[in-house]
Amino acid sequence: MRRVLLALAFALAAASAGAAVDPLPFKDRAEEVRFQNLTKQLRCLVCQNESLNDSSAPLAADLRRDVFEQMRAGKSDAEIKQWLTARYSDFVLYDPPLRGGTFLLWFGPLLVLGAGAVVVALNVRRRARNATAQPPARPASTDVEEDW
């Protein structure tokens, strides 16, 4: 009985997840592929770690409809991306352009890694210098004779 209930729960969860995808009336397969490629290049503003194509958030569904309407209006991918970045900044792009505002986004991890390497190197040098400066401690010798 538990297995049946568990299977039923999984089936309901799968059905509700599939219902979250909003079907759009594409003219042909080429338009659908273009839409999917474009929405994979855009970040969901709510989820932040999912593409617009993969997200089930309501805002992502709205943005997908906006992208679809702009495609139907004859705009190019670059024009659609420009429209989205004008509204939501470069954050909406998975591959933001290199500008002053995105410098830390591109090179921040490398700078943090470099700073960590410098700290580790300085600690290793300091410990090596301290180890050579101080002779190793010897145990104190006992000159007392033992009684047997």
Q: What is the pLDDT of residues 40-57, one digit of tens each?
A: 999 998 887 889 888 889
Q: Are residues 75 and 112 in the same domain?
A: no
Residue 145 lies in a domain: no
- In-domain check, residue 16: no
Contacts of 43 (CB under 8 A, 6+ apart): 50, 51, 52, 91, 92, 93, 94
- State the total domains in the chain: 2
> Which domain, by its residues, includes 37?
21-95
CB atoms within 10 A of CB 96: 16
pLDDT at 11 over 70: no
Enter the pTM of the model: 0.56
Token code pair at residue 49? 């770690």
Q: What is the mean pLDDT of residues 116-128?
A: 95
Higher pLDDT, residue 99 or 122 = 122
DSSP reduced 3-state for 43: strand
Average confidence (pLDDT) over 137-144: 62
What is the spatial distance between Cα 123 and Cα 105, in angstroms, rounded to a whole number? Answer: 28
- For residue 33, tell me if it sits in a domain: yes
Whole-angstrom Cα distance, residue 47 to residue 59?
Answer: 10
Q: How far is CA 52 from CA 10, 90, 110, in A?
A: 25, 14, 27
Residues 41 and 107 in one domain: no
